[in-house]
Structures are given as C-alpha cells and as structure tokens.
Amino acid sequence: EVEVAIKVVVVGNGAVGKSSMIQRYCKGIFTRDYKKTIGVDFLERQIELEGEDVRLMLWDTAGQEEFDAITKAYYRGAQACVLAFSTVDRESFEAIELWKQKVEDEVGEIAMVIVQNKIDLIDDALVHTYAYLNLSSLSVFRYLAEKYLER
C-alpha cells in the first residue's frame, strides 16, 4: 500500500538527456495514453524508503522545452524537481538558473537537485563537474525522494 506519492518534474534544455534518464529508471511502465490527452508523459516507479512505499511519478516534457511552451499542468502539484544539463552543452548549464526560476514561479520552493548528464562524455566537456553527476539515475531519484521526505 502506497502512502507517499511524489510528483517529480524533470526540466532542462532540449537534448540534455531528460527522457533518457527517466526511461532508464522506469522502463516498463510507460503511460503513452497520457501523452495524447495533455501533451506530457509521466512514468512511475515505486521504491522503498525507510520502510515506506513511495511512488515516484516522473514527469517528462514532450520536447516542447525549446519553445518555452510547457504548460502549467506540467508543473502543477510538483513536489520535487530535477534540473538537468549536459556535460557537452554549455548553454544548457547556463540555463539551469532560468529553469529553477520557472519552476519556482509555478510551484514555489520544492526539493530540487541539479543533475549533470552525459557524464560519459566528460573528455569532451564544455562544463566541468559542478553538480550531482548522473552516473546512475537510480540514485538521483532516490536522493530526491529522501530530500523531499526530510522536509
């Protein structure tokens, strides 16, 4: 029986690896029907934290981030947020502050983590390591859930 459900929004510039990290983590439970109705996807995964069952609903954008067209429905009720950028995209790193602002404008201060994706490309780095390194998206989402529960 699930007592805690956490809506997590994953934001950041296009092509930084948001969908990939969500799919890697949740693969198997893909809510394709949802996309048709409101233009966004979420995938979910249940984890156990401190003896409690926690359901993580990870919301992905449908690639509309380049057009500044993410709807309020995407952010509504979000309790946690991943701010993602790519090791090989300096602009995506510089945009992190804007994404943070955008989320906070909609839902206020929530649990957040900055994630540096494409860490396997560190040899081509345009961004040095400033953030939570996404070596395993499993630990990223667990970390965020713990952070949320601490509040």
List of residues contacting ligand GDP (CB under 6 A): 14-20, 117-118, 120-121
Query: CA 91, 96, 101 angle in degrees (round to 5)?
Result: 135
Of Mg ion, ligand GDP, none, which one sits near residue 54, judging by CB under 5 to 8 A according to partner kind?
none
For the CB of residue 110, give the shortest distance to ligand GDP in the complex, in Å: 20
Question: Distance between CA 46 and CA 44 in Å, rounded?
Answer: 7
Of ligand GDP, Mg ion, none, which one sits near residue 117, judging by CB under 5 to 8 A according to partner kind?
ligand GDP
Of Mg ion, ligand GDP, none, which one sits near residue 20, judging by CB under 5 to 8 A according to partner kind?
ligand GDP
For the CB of residue 118, give the shortest distance to ligand GDP in the complex, in Å: 4
